[in-house]
Structure 1
Amino acid sequence: MTSPALDHPVRLGATAVLLDLDGTVTDSAAAITGAIAETLEAFGRPPLVQDTLLRFVGPPIREGFRDIAAVPEAEIEPLVADYRTRYAARMADVPVFPGVDELIRSWHAAGVPLALATAKLQTMAEPILDAAGLTAYFTTVSGVLAGEDTLGGVQVKANVISRALEGLSAAGADITGAVMVGDRYHDIAGAGTHGLTSVLVRWGYGRPGEEEGAAAVVHDAGELAAVLAARPSTS
């Protein structure tokens, strides 16, 4: 079923594009959920079905262990450390979603400034983007800084987006028409804290209802390209 946002197509005329990583650029579900399942087993926690494990993909990992796996706050830190060790060994071995790498290259060739804005640790985001061969196309890469992941998910995303906008601006990019693109509610709500227009992609891991507040919902890279294309001239 076509989303209401695409029944009446919009042209946002993006002057710069901020992209989430997991679920938007990279199909990282298997790497993340596999590491989480192993960590839960290692700590004697109840196993979770795959659909539940997918809810971990996108928000800060501490939030996932607390809210999805019901791990008490005082017990979360060792699980986070164990998960990150397991995940680091496989984090770069993930595919890019179909058409997204070509879209990124086409935006870059057209002079559209790009920023990565992810709730993943900065120290993890950079090598993942490198492994995908996409680093050269981004003006700035903004991930979570040490200690920042203890904040709520929306606040973490808002902070990451803030730094991405600062990086774009410092490089001379026009951010007056910047658009955030992501697959989860945190992306949409985080963008909203800055008054930023956002687009939700359906190829990621979002659940029904997470698109609330987005200017558009798209189902493939072609639709995303069309939504972010320059507005037709009225002259």
Structure 2
Amino acid sequence: MYKNILFDLDGTITDPFLGITNSIIYSLEKMNIEAPDNNALKHFIGPPLQESYETNYNLIGDDNQAAVQHYRAYFSEKGMYENKVYPGIEILLNTLISQQKQLYIATSKPTHFAKPILEHFNLAHYFNDIIGSNLDGTRTDKAEVIATVISEHQLDPKQTIMIGDRKHDIIGAQKNNIDSIGVLYGYGGQEEIKDASPTHTIATVDYLLDVLI
């Protein structure tokens, strides 16, 4: 039975679609790059931002940093609040706390943004710690984020599980020798999650309890 439960944030706890894609559009326009519509930018949700700019728009070095700064300018003012909690999440968290589970956030989003987002939705108090990447671009790899949570809180890997909607969450868990749940209600999609081979796959928030308690 799992005692320590690590959650991804975007696509797992909250649906950040509008805020993230609006921030990407703003940043691309600032970089004089023609931006597609919001729906064409869903793949930006989950992976490290720097990686996505490089992979999708060949932005490296100073250009990559500039794009990230433009993104954060919009996101910090508007984008982080263009967001909503998935239905059933608060019931899930309450139930897990009642079962004496230890809950953590492990996200590639900078901690600087993750904490106020969770506070905005009155969810921060459920988590023992909220750990993300650093604003200077370090600790963006999900495996490193997970390793930080495990190390700082001395978690037993055999009693620890990672929940996320992208392959980065599953691969990060595997690199840290912990089990994982791939959720299909987020942004990875069934094929991506299947290919990553999580320990468990679930379709909706409600079914998480079947694995966790």
Secondary structure of the corresponding residue to residue 68 of structure 1? helix
Distance 1:196 1:163, change over 3 A: same
**Which residue of 2 is the match for residue 202 of structure 1?**
184
What's 1:232 paired with? none
Which structure 1 residue ranges, 4+ long, deviate > 4 Å from structure 2? none
**1:53 CA displacement:** 0.6
CA distance in 2, matches of 1:89, 1:23: 21
Number of positions where the alignment pairs a residue of Structure 1 with one of Structure 2 = 210
For residue 4 of structure 1, what is the aligned residue in structure 2? none
Among the aligned pairs, what percent are the same residue? Answer: 30
Asked if 1:70 is matched to 2:54, the reply is no
| Structure 2, unpaired ranges of 5+ | none
Q: Aligned runs of 1:23-172 on 2, under 5 Å? A: 23-90=11-78, 91-149=80-138, 156-169=141-154
Match of 2:209 in 1: 225
With structure 1 as the length reference, what TM-score do the two structures score?
0.83
For 1:48, what is the secondary structure of its paired residue? coil
Residue 158 of structure 2 aligns with an amino acid whose one-letter code is T
Instruction: Check whether the contact 2:184–2:190 (CA below 8 A) recurs between aligned residues.
Output: no
Distance 1:66 1:175 in 2: 33
Which residue of structure 2 lines up, in the alignment, with residue 5 of structure 1? none
Residue correspondence of structure 1 range 11-30 to structure 2 within 5 A: 13-30=1-18
Aligned with 1:187: secondary structure?
A: helix
Match of 1:186 in 2: 168
The 2-side partners of 1:194 and 1:71 are apart by 30
Q: Which amino acid aligns with 1:57?
A: I
Indicate the structure with greater helix content: 2
Helix, strand or coil at the partner of 2:104: strand
Larger CA Rg, structure 1 vs 2:
1
Per the TM alignment, residue 219 of structure 1 is displaced from its structure 2 partner at its CA by 1.2
Q: Which has the higher contact order (CA 8 A, sep 6+)?
A: 1
Structure 1's 148 and 159: CA in aligned 2 closer, same or farther, altered over 3 A?
A: farther
SS at match of 1:209: helix
- RMSD (Å), alpha carbons: 1.7
Between the aligned partners of 2:204 and 2:190, the Cα distance in structure 1 is: 17
Q: CA deviation at 1:93?
A: 4.2
